[in-house]
Amino acid sequence: MTDTITLFADARLVDPATDRDGCATVAVQHGRIIEVAFESGFTTDLGTDFEIIDCDGLCLAPGLIDIRVKTGEPGFEPKETLKSASLSAAAGGVTTIVIQPDTDPAVDDPAMVDFIQRRGAALNLVNVFAAGAATRNRDGQRMAEIGLMHEAGALYFTDGDRVIANSRTLQRVMSYAAAFNALIACRPSDPWLSDGGVATSGELATRLGLSGVPAIAERIQLDRDLALVEQTGARFLIDQISTADALDSLARARSKGLEVAASVSINHLCFNEIDIGDYRTFYRLDPPLRPESDRQALIEAVRDGLIDIITSAHAPLPAEDKRRPFAEAAPGAIGLETLLAATLTLHHEDGLPLLDVLRPLTQGPAALLGLDSGVLEPGAPADLVLFDPDAPVVIDAATLKSKSKNSPFDGRRLQGKVIGTWVGGRKVF
Amino acid sequence: MTQIAAVTDQITERLIPFPAPHFLSAGDLTPPAAQALLDVADIFVDLNRLAASQGGKTLDLLAGRTVVNIFFENSTRTSSSFEIAAKRLGADVVTMPVQASSVAKGETLIDTAVTLNAMKPDILVIRHGASGAAALLSQKVGCAVVNAGDGRHEHPTQALLDLLSLRRAFGDVGGLTVAICGDIAHSRVARSNVALLSMMGARVRLIGPPTLVPGDADRWGCEVFHDMREGLQGCDVVMMLRLQLERMEGALVPSTREYFRFWGLDREKLAWARPGAKVMHPGPMNRGVEIDSDVADDLSVSLIQDQVEMGVAARMAVLASLWARGGSVH
């Protein structure tokens, strides 16, 4: 590596971790930030070997961290590979992705964790980490090798979209994981109440003739999970909270002093159930889209910090899985490349300060997963995104880098354009 | 005087009546009674080492008495250890393995007890898969009952033989720090050892994955650790427990290789204990699961062979002492 110093000059630095939003210069050397200077306080001796990137007053923020990314590698490569996912991430200003374990074979042993992380690193694009399965082959019955996967670098443990229905299994998984201080993530969704449902139960689902999932399916399962957290002392992440009811449960748990984190998918912040009105299968999601009142509650929860993390819930699906009648289409949406612009709608339309909008994409996940990125400070890795927060864009799914094009944002007008992405000081987009 | 006669004299001099009518749990002992039993057991150890040419090993302390071993669970070492102990004391021994008994034909434990009682044994030794089985039996029979392991409750003679091995290795057990490692939750050996070692003044630590250490184990007066490095720090003794392989299926432990990585005793982990620390295991061992052969077979650190030898002597002391309480020693 050369000793070249890279200066990001005249940037509007937006760093939730240090709560700073202002004009600054950032100096980077050997892949790490060496100085962040506001106004005229720059002190680094540049010598002769340096380059200047003129940020032109645009926003410079820590690269985004997306903790819920599905790919199809190994097993379903036509959907998405680690490479296409990494390219999408880079184009979206996402510098760290955590791959879900629902591959074939599942990521349920240390060799698979190692495989994902090595393959990801070899691409030399973004930081690729793996989440390990909590149970073997995600069967919800037998515990996976949580300790060995933790040692191999798995950042957290989850059965992904599958719920560990057996409370005793989950209790043991949580209690075992506590020995390693390992993080467990669970989707709150009662498997029986949600069985067969494709939309949130209610007037709209009835009118559309779609099988409903009652909203309480989320709260019921979440309350069970939280009770087990309380008993076992596990570190816990609520994966994709989506209803106001469940947010109440989360708030109660927090007020009791339970340390639980919660994530929300960008889709549930941007869309509501009305979007499924013309049976567009790109809005067929799991959990299903919710009434507007839930969406508003989720935005409020991001605003006041109840929700720690926003994810893209990136779920690539090929056309053959989506070009079907609504109820038969596979659930899920891609979102890596649109994550930043979509999240900025909370700033432009819902009036959240830019810092609060970026926090659950940077500092929130970094703190939960113990990453040293997600902050702009000397010593931190130079994982950066430069973006124009106001530039209008029209999303065209066909031009997205993901191998699958199932973007619910297709045709939407958003504001926010990624100008450049750097990982460890290296420009990847 | 022959050596046998000399030994018999020493024993009658030191033998105390057992402090309870039955030996069901480590709590039936008191510190002085335990010490006295160990003193006698020490003599039995010497006796057991005598060669046939020196006069044989068999005494007549229990001559004409009947000891019945009834084992509802498979056991090789405990049942043979009890059988040899009783025979060395001169008793008539009947060992009933479960397969051959009428239990297989649907007889209840109480029926079996009543039937056995009618045959007037002098001491009953029982192993059963249900916690409390030995206590139940003791209420229904007219002789002394020795618990040779009941479910996940207690295995008091194992604790006594472990204590004997430790006293011989260290001189005194008081002040020692003993780490019991592994599947504490399902272990009767752990429960008896916690009780007896604590009673004798040792500090006991429990180490294992949270799924195998009961959540309230710290209230047993032990320190609980889930990390071997932390837990073994400063320990004089590392007592490993057997991991039943069916624990893998119940989501208690993910795999034997992961278990070995984090809780299996090998040289590296043993080095975290105090220099000169001794290793114990009640057997049978799962080599490569809870213990590395390299450690288990190293006689400079392992007391595992000793434990088996001490088993016979400790059980002789228990049987003799129970009989001394009930009947009279010649």
**Sign of the C-alpha dihedral, residues A10, A14, A19, A22?**
positive
Mutate to test the interface with A, among B225, B258, B262 (most CBs of A within 10 A): B258
Distance in angstroms (rounded) separating the CA atoms of residues B220 and B156: 17
pLDDT exceeds 60 at position A178: yes
**In the beta sheet, which residues pair with residue A157?**
A132, A184
Between chain A and chain B, the number of residue pairs with CB atoms below 8 A apart is: 50
**Residue owning tokens 């018999």:** B8
| Residues of B with Cβ-Cβ distance to A176 under 8 angstroms | 209-211, 252-254
| Residues of B with Cβ-Cβ distance to A175 under 8 angstroms | 210-211
pLDDT exceeds 70 at position A373: yes
**For residue A380, what are the contacts with CB-CB under 8 A and spacing of at least 6?**
A32, A33, A62, A372, A373, A374
Chain B positions contacting chain A at CB under 8 Å are 209-211, 226-227, 248-255, 257-258, 261-262
Quote the DSSP letter at residue B154. B
Min Cα separation B94/chain A (Å): 43
The per-residue pLDDT of chain A, averaged, comes to 96
Phi, psi for residue B244 in degrees, rounded to 5: -65, 130
* DSSP-based three-state secondary structure for B204: strand
Give the tens place of pLDDT for each residue, A126-169: 999 999 999 999 999 999 999 999 999 999 999 999 999 999 99
Tokens standing for residue A236? 């816990």
| CA atoms within 13 Å, Cβ hemisphere of B213 | 27
Q: Do A147 and B261 touch (CB under 8 A)?
A: yes
pLDDT of residue B330: 37
pTM beyond cutoff 0.95? no
| Residues of A with Cβ-Cβ distance to B262 under 8 angstroms | 147, 179
Q: Do A176 and B255 touch (CB under 8 A)?
A: no
DSSP character string of A361-379: GTHHHHHHHT-S-SS-STT
A43-57, A397-411, B86-100: which is most confident: A397-411
pLDDT tens sequence for chain B (330 residues): 577 788 888 898 999 999 999 999 999 999 999 999 999 999 999 999 887 677 777 888 999 999 999 998 888 889 999 999 999 999 999 988 776 555 656 677 888 888 888 989 999 999 998 999 999 999 989 999 999 999 999 999 999 999 999 999 999 999 999 999 999 999 999 999 999 999 999 999 999 999 999 888 888 889 999 999 999 999 999 999 999 877 777 789 999 999 999 999 999 999 999 999 999 999 899 999 999 999 999 999 999 999 999 999 999 999 999 999 876 443
Mutate to test the interface with B, among A112, A141, A142, A231 (most CBs of B within 10 A): A142
**For residue A264, what are the contacts with CB-CB under 8 A and spacing of at least 6?**
A240, A241, A242, A298, A301, A302, A307, A309, A310, A311, A360
pLDDT of residue B112: 82
pLDDT of residue B102: 57
**Residue owning tokens 């006594």:** B160
Residue type, A230: E
Q: Which of A141, A145, A178 sits opposite B210 (nearest CB)?
A: A178
Which residue of chain B has the CA closest to A150? B258
Mutate to test the interface with B, among A108, A175, A180 (most CBs of B within 10 A): A175
H or E element in which residue A387 lies: strand A384-394
Give the tens place of pLDDT for each residue, A246-304: 999 999 999 999 989 999 999 999 999 999 999 999 999 999 999 999 999 999 999 99
**In the beta sheet, which residues pair with residue B68?**
B94, B124
Tokens standing for residue B124? 């009953």
Query: How would you classify the pairing of strands A32-38 and B92-97?
Result: unpaired
Q: Do A176 and B211 touch (CB under 8 A)?
A: yes
Q: Do A143 and B249 touch (CB under 8 A)?
A: no
Distance in angstroms (rounded) separating the CA atoms of residues B148 and B160: 12
pLDDT of residue B1: 57
Q: Do A146 and B254 touch (CB under 8 A)?
A: yes
pLDDT of residue B329: 40
Q: What is the mean pLDDT of residues A101-111?
A: 97
Quote the DSSP letter at residue B106. T
Q: What is the mean pLDDT of residues A344-362?
A: 96
- Residue A16 CB neighbour total at 10 angstroms: 25
**Residue owning tokens 């009933």:** B96
Distance in angstroms (rounded) separating the CA atoms of residues A170 and B219: 25
Q: Do B261 and A135 touch (CB under 8 A)?
A: no
Tell me if B45 sits within 8 A of B309, measured CB to CB: yes
Closest C-alpha among A414, A302, A386 to residue A7: A386
| Residues of A with Cβ-Cβ distance to B248 under 8 angstroms | 142
Distance in angstroms (rounded) separating the CA atoms of residues A371 and B270: 33
Q: Do A147 and B262 touch (CB under 8 A)?
A: yes
Tokens standing for residue B180? 């019991």
Min Cα separation A77/chain B (Å): 29
Distance in angstroms (rounded) separating the CA atoms of residues A247 and B120: 69
Query: How would you classify the pairing of strands B278-280 and B237-240?
Result: parallel
Tell me if B193 sits within 8 A of B162, measured CB to CB: yes
Tell me if A262 sits within 8 A of A306, measured CB to CB: yes
Min Cα separation B253/chain A (Å): 7
Q: What is the mean pLDDT of residues A167-182?
A: 96
Tell me if B88 sits within 8 A of B312, measured CB to CB: yes
Phi, psi for residue B276 in degrees, rounded to 5: 85, 5
* DSSP-based three-state secondary structure for A381: strand
Which residue of chain A has the CA closest to B207? A179
Phi, psi for residue A136 in degrees, rounded to 5: -65, 130
Mutate to test the interface with A, among B181, B183, B206, B211 (most CBs of A within 10 A): B211
The length of chain A is 429
Query: How would you classify the pairing of strands A413-423 and A384-394?
Result: antiparallel
**Residue owning tokens 């609504």:** A326
Q: Give whole-number Cα distances, A164 to A71, A106, A181, A182, A231, in Å.
A: 22, 15, 20, 17, 17
| Residues of A with Cβ-Cβ distance to B253 under 8 angstroms | 143, 176
Mutate to test the interface with B, among A172, A181, A228, A235 (most CBs of B within 10 A): A172
| Residues of B with Cβ-Cβ distance to A141 under 8 angstroms | 251
Q: Do B257 and A145 touch (CB under 8 A)?
A: yes
Q: Which of A145, A151, A175 sits opposite B254 (nearest CB)?
A: A145
Chain A positions contacting chain B at CB under 8 Å are 135-136, 141-148, 151, 168-169, 172-173, 175-176, 178-179, 232
Q: Do A172 and B262 touch (CB under 8 A)?
A: no
pLDDT exceeds 60 at position A345: yes
| Residues of B with Cβ-Cβ distance to A178 under 8 angstroms | 210, 226
**For residue A71, what are the contacts with CB-CB under 8 A and spacing of at least 6?**
A79, A80, A81, A82, A84, A85, A99, A100, A103, A316
Q: What is the mean pLDDT of residues A67-72?
A: 97
